[in-house]
Chains A and B, each alone.
Chain A
Amino acid sequence: MNDILRLLRLFWPYRRWLAAGIALSVVVILSNVVLLALAGWFIASMALAGLGTQAFGYFTPAAAIRGLAILRTVARYLERLVTHDATLRVLSELRVWFYRHLEPLAPARLQNYRGGDLLSRIRGDIDSLDNFYLQVLAPTVSAAITSVALVAGLALFSGRVALIDALGLLAAGIALPLLALRLGRRPGNRLVGTKAALRAATADTCRGLGELRVYAATARQGAQVEELSEALLADQRRLSWIKGLSAGLSGLFGQLTMWLALVVTIPLVTQGRTPSPDLAMIALYVLASFEAIAGLPLAFYLMGETLAAARRIFEIIDAAPELAEPPEGPLPQRFDIVVRDLRMRYAPDGKWVLDGLDFALRQGGSLGIVGVTGAGKSTLFNVLLRFREFQNGQIEIGGVPLRALQGEQIRALCSVVAQRGHLFNTTIRENLLLARPDASERDLVEALRQAGVFDEVESFSEGLDTFVGEVGARLSGGQARRIAIARAFLKDAPILLLDEPTEGLDAASERVVLEALKRLMTGRTTLLISHRAQALLYVDRVMRIEGASGGLIRLQPVPLPLWSPTADATLLTGLRHPASESLFGRGSHRSVMKASRDR
C-alpha cells in the first residue's frame, strides 16, 4: 500500500493530465452505454408509437443518439491522446527521478547487485512502471467511477436491477480476476523461473557452441534446452486454460446479469409498474455496463507485477549513500599521497579487505601495485576516489585529509584509466567531451594524438563523429583503452589511477597503450595496478598486496621499503624507468616476487 502511495506521489505533478485521461475514458464508456440503452428504448418507443399505443416525441432522443455517437468517438480520440501523453510525461519523470536517486549511490551501493543482473532488473522494472498509468491506474479508477455511475443511473429506474447489476459487476470485475490471479500465481511464478533458466541455457549454448561440439555435448545440451522449453510450454498451457476460463466466465457473468435483470423486470412491465419500452433499455444498459470493467482483468494481472517492480526500484534507491559528504573545504595545493594504517571492510562484521596498509608517494612519483585477484587493489582505488568509506587509518592528499574533501573535489583531482572503463554508445567526440565539456577541436585532436590513437580515429570515415557502438563494440580493445587515455589527457588531473590499463590487450596494442601512458604519467602522481611485467616497468616502485588463501581475503602489505614524501629522493634508487639499465635490477621488487613464488 505504501508503495502505491509513493508511486502515486511520483505521478502527482501530472495529476491534471492523469485525471483528464481518466475522465475522458469515463465519458467514452458512459456515452457508449447510454447510446445503446437509449437506442433500445427509442426503438421500442417508436414501435409502440407506431402501433398507436402511446405518443412519442422522437425529436430529442433521435438527436441524442447522434450526439452521443459523436461524443463517444471524439472522447475516445482525445482519451487516447491524453492518456498516451500522460504516460510519456510520467515516463520522463520516472526516469529522471530514478536517475537522480541512483546517482549518489553509484558505484558502492550498486555493487551489491550483480552487474548485468541489476541492469536487466532495472530495465524490466522501469518498463513495468512506465505502463502503470495506462494499464493499471487508469483502467482501475475509471472502472470504479463508471461502475458507480452506471449502477446509480440504473437505480433511478429500478433499485432491484441496480443491485443485480452491481453484484454482477463485482463478480466479473473483481472476484473473477482475483480468482484467475490466484489460480495463475503458481504456474506464473514457475514460468518466470523456467524462462530465466531457458534463457541461461540458450545463452550458454550460443556462447559455447564450439565446446559443445568438441566435447560431443550438443545433443545433451539440446535435450536440456528442449526439456526447459517443454516445461515453459506446459505452464503456458496451464495459464491459457485459466485465461480461457476467465474469458468465458467474464462474458457469461455479463449475460447472466442481463438475464436476471430480464427475469426481474418482465413481471414489473406486465404489472404496468415499469413502462414497457424500458425493458429493452434495461437489457441493453445492463449488458453494455460490463464494458466498464473490461480493463480490470489485465489491470489486476499487472498490478502485482508493477507493485513488485516498484518495491524493487524503491529498495534500490532507498539505500543510504555509502559516504557522508563534508562541507566544501579548501583543495590541496600539492599532490603527494600518504596512506597510514588503512583498514577497510565492506560490512561491519566482514573480513578486512585492506588490513593496515601503509605507503607514501611523492608528488609526480609512481607506484605499481601487484597482488592476486581479490587482494584489494581495486578496493584501494575505490577508497581513494571516495566511492568507498574506510574504517581505520589516514589518507592524505597534499596534507589534506581525504575525509575533509568532497567526493567531487577529489574526483576532479584524479584521472582513472581502467580495464573496464565505460565508453558510451555515442560518438568518440561526445565520449571525449565528457572529460572537458568546453574542449576545442584542437584540444580533442591533441589529446587523441597524445594517446596515440589519432591516426586510427582519423582513418574512420566519420572521424571524431564515429559512433563507438554498444560498450565500445566497434573499437578494438586497444583503441577503446587509448580513447579512455585521451579522456585522461583532456581532463589533465594531477593524480592518475591506472587499474589494469593493459590487461586483455595483445603485445602490440599493449606497447602502444603503454607508450601513451608513459606520456600521461609524466609529472602526475600515479598509482598503477597491474600484473603485466611490461606495464610495471614504467613505475618507480612496486608494492605487493597479498590476499591470504583459505577464502579470507586479507591485505598484508609486504615489508617494502616505505618512503615518506620527504625521504623519497634518497630512497628512489632500486627501481627505475625502462630506459635505465638496471631494470628491476637487484632491487626489492624482485625479491618480493620471488618470495611470493616460494610461498
Chain B
Amino acid sequence: MIGVRAPGRREAAKQDEAWLRGRAATARRPLAIAIGAGAVGGLLLIAQAWCLAQIVDRVTIRGEDLSGLWPWLLALLGLFLLRAVAVGGVEVASSAAAARVKRALRAALFERIAALGPVWMQGQRSGEVANTLVDGVEEIEKYYASYLPQMALTVFIPLAILIAVFPADWVSGLIFAVTAPLIPVFMIIIGKGAESLNQRQWQRLARMSAHFFDVIEGLTTLKLFNASRREADVIARMSDAYRQSTMSVLRVAFLSSLVLEFFATLSIALAAVYIGFRLYYHQMDFLPGFFALLLAPEFYRPLRDMGAQYHARMDAIAAAEGLIGCFTAPLPKAPRALRQLPGGVVRRIEFDNVSFRHGGDGDGVSGISFSLARGECVALMGASGAGKTTVGQLLLRFLTPASGLIRINGEDLRLLDEADWMRRVAWMPQSPTLFYGSVIDNIRLGAPEASFAEVEAAAEAAQAADFIARLPQGYETQLGDAGQGLSGGEIQRIALARLFLKRAEVMVLDEATAALDRATARRVLQSVARATAESAVLFIAHDLDAARMADRILVVEHGRVVESGSHAALVASGGLYAGMAALNREEAV
C-alpha cells in the first residue's frame, strides 16, 4: 500500500488531511472552546508578565516595600488561578472535541462496513479492518485534541505577545517580528524532516518488529530445523543495522530543530543583552524592558513545541489513510424494488444460467442452472476455488448475478425485499464466527426470543450439547475473541446449533463438517438431514460423506456444473465424481 502511494504521497497526504479537517465539523463547538480557553490563557500570560514586571520594578528600581505591593501580588495570584483553569479547560475541551469526532466516525465506519458487506470483507484482512475501527480511530485523536487547537494557538499567542510588546519596547518587538516570519519557513523544514522520519524510519522499524515477532511466532519451526539459535544473531544484526540507519537520518532530522532552537534561544539572549545595554545607557525604563524579557521565551515556546505537533499530525494522517480506504470503497448497488415473496414460503429455487465473476478476471461461476425445492437437499461438490462458495453467496444475495436469473417461486430474487429474504435463509459459512458474548447468545443470534428448551434442542441436534455442558458455565460461558478456547469442531457445532435454531426455509451450509472427526461428522450429518426436512438445503461439501446424504449432487469444476445426479447415478457414470468416490472406496463398500 505504501509502495503504491509513493509517487503522489504528498498529494495523498494533503487529501487525507483535508478529510481529517472535514471531520472536525462535528466538533466545532468544543474545538472553539478549547481554542478560546487557550487564547484566554495566552492573554492571562501577558497580564501575568505585566504584573510581575510591575512588582520587580517597584521593588528593585523604586524601592517600594511589601506593604504597598499587595494589590499587585494579589492580582498576580488571581491571574495564576485563572490561568490554571484555562490550561485545564483546553485539555478537557480538546479531549471532548476528539471524543465527538471519534464517536461519529466509529458509528459511520460501522455503518459503512455493514453496508459494504461480507463479500467486500473477503478481500480485506478482517483483523486490519477491525483494528481500523478501534485503534485507527483512536490514533486520529491527537489531530483534534492536540494538533488543531495548538496550531491555532501557535498563530494567536505569538501575535498577542507581539501586540503587547510593541508599545512597551518596540526594539524587542522588532526582534520578535523579524524572527516571526521565519516560523512558516521552519514549519516546512521541520515538517519535511518529520515526514521523512515518519515515512522511512517508522516503516523500517515496523519491518524490524515484524521480523522479530515472526521469528517468535515460528520459533517451533526454527527449532525443528535446529536454526533457532542462529536466529539470535540475525536479530542482533538487524536491530543494529536499523540503529545505524536511523541515527544517520536522525542526525540530519534533528539538525532542523537544532537550527530552530538555536535561533529561538539566541533571539532571547539577544533581546536580553540589547535591553540591558539600552538600560545601561538609560535609553529605556526597566519596566517595559523586563516585561519584554519575560515574554520572550513565551513568544518562541509554541514554535519549539511545533515539532511534537507535526508528529501528531503525521501520525493522524497515516491513520486516516486506513479510515478513508473504508469510506471510498464503492457500495454494492441497492436493490431496485421491494416485493414480497409470492406464495408465503419458499417452495422452489431456480438458478437459470447464472454467471458471476469476482473482480476483472478472477474466479467465478458461469452458466449455473439447477433447481432446489422445499424439503430437498442439493450438494455442491468440487475442488476449492471451483465456485461452490460463490453459488452459496449468490443465493444469500451477498452477490448479484452478472447474468442469468435466480428465481424464488418464480420471482426474480433481486426484486424481493432483502430483509424479508434474510428472514427466510440461514447460513453456516466455512469458518463460522462466534461473537463476543455467551454461548447461548451465540446460538440465539438469529432467534433472540428462543426459549432455553429450544436452544438446548438445537444444541442437541448439532451434537454440541455434551461439550457445552462441560464448559465452566455451560450455556452462559463467555466466549472470548473468536471463540478462543474452543476447538474448530466445537465452533462449527455451535454455529450449526445457531443454524438449526433459526428454522429457516432455505439453508446454505458451507463445508459444515470440515473440522469434525469422521464419527462426529456423521452424527452431525444425520442431524442435518433430520433438522432440514422442511427446508431447501444447499450443501457445499468436499467430503463424500456429506455429499451422499443429498438428494442430488452437482459437481462443479472451474465455475461450471460438469455433472449432476444422485450418488449412485454419478458413481455409475464413471465421471469426475466417480473418481473422487474411488479414492474413498473403502467407505463406499
Contact = CB atoms under 8 A, between A and B. Distances in A.
A and B, one complex?
yes
Interface in B99-134: 99, 102-103, 106-107, 110-111, 113-114, 117-118, 121, 124, 126-127, 129-131, 133-134
B193 to A, nearest CB: 12
B314 interface: no
Contacts of A36: 297
Contacts of B222: 434
Judged by DSSP, the binding face of B is helix
Interface string A553-578: 00000000000000000000000000
A333 interface: no
Given A39-B272, A43-B276, A73-B265, A51 B61 contact: yes
A263 to B, nearest CB: 7
B552 interface: no
A267 interface: yes
Main secondary structure of the interface of A (DSSP, over half): helix
Nearest to B83: A251
B470 interface: yes
B226 A412 contact: yes
B263 to A, nearest CB: 9
A76 interface: yes
Interface residues of B, number: 156
A425 B130 contact: no
Interface in B395-411: 396, 398
Contacts of A590: 586
Contact of A508 (B130, B221, B383, B489): B383
Given A73-B265, A240-B95, A283-B52, A206 B129 contact: yes
Contact of A205 (B110, B289, B488): B110
A65 B273 contact: yes
A88 B209 CA distance: 13
Contacts of A550: 470
Interface string A229-273: 110010011001101110111011001100100110011011000
A84 B482 contact: no
A206 B123 CA distance: 12
A597 interface: yes
A190 B254 CA distance: 38
Contacts of B446: 214-217
Given A46-B277, A210-B429, A491-B225, A279 B121 contact: no
Given A47-B289, A279-B56, A596-B519, A62 B482 contact: no
Interface stretch (A99-107, A143-151, A300-308, A392-400): A99-107
B422 A214 contact: yes
Nearest to B448: A220
A434 B227 contact: yes
Contacts of A209: 113-114, 117-118, 121
Interface stretch (A192-200, A458-466, A519-527): A192-200
Given A39-B268, A226-B107, A507 B580 contact: yes
B247 A88 contact: yes
Contact of B215 (A49, A198, A411, A424): A424
Interface stretch (A159-167, A344-352, A414-422): A414-422
Interface string B302-319: 000000000000000000
B2 interface: no
Contacts of A237: 95-96, 99
Contacts of B488: 373
Interface string B359-371: 0000000000000
Interface in B572-589: 580, 583-587
A77 B256 CA distance: 10
B250 interface: yes
B434 interface: yes
A214 B114 contact: no
A387 B48 CA distance: 70
A212 interface: yes
Q: Which among B268, B419, B485 has the highest number of chain A CB atoms within 10 Å?
A: B268
Nearest to B504: A214
B166 interface: no
B433 interface: yes
A80 interface: yes
Contact of B396 (A85, A214, A422): A214
Contacts of B85: 248
Interface stretch (B20-28, B62-70, B181-189): B62-70
B114 to A, nearest CB: 5
B83 A221 contact: no
Given A84-B247, A119-B216, A597 B519 contact: yes
B383 A201 contact: no
Contacts of B95: 236-237, 240, 243-244
A204 B482 contact: yes
B91 A43 contact: no
Contact of A89 (B243, B273, B383): B243
A205 B116 CA distance: 13
B266 A69 contact: yes
A40 B246 contact: no
A8 interface: no
A276 interface: yes
B239 A73 contact: no
Contacts of A74: 258
B580 to A, nearest CB: 6
A92 interface: yes
B566 interface: no
Contacts of A91: 239, 243
A77 B518 CA distance: 68
B126 A206 contact: yes
A263 B266 CA distance: 32
A215 B498 contact: yes
Given A215-B445, A237-B95, A263-B66, A107 B261 contact: no
Contacts of A132: none
Contact of A200 (B384, B426, B481): B481
Contact of A211 (B83, B243, B432, B519): B432
13 contacts: A40-B290, A43-B279, A46-B275, A46-B277, A49-B279, A68-B269, A216-B446, A247-B87, A248-B85, A255-B48, A280-B60, A424-B218, A434-B225
Q: Which 4 A-B pairs have the closest CB atoms?
A: A208-B433, A210-B118, A240-B95, A215-B446
Given A70-B262, A237-B96, A508-B383, 14 more contacts: A47-B61, A65-B273, A81-B251, A88-B246, A92-B239, A203-B127, A207-B126, A210-B427, A244-B89, A249-B84, A284-B294, A372-B519, A509-B383, A551-B470
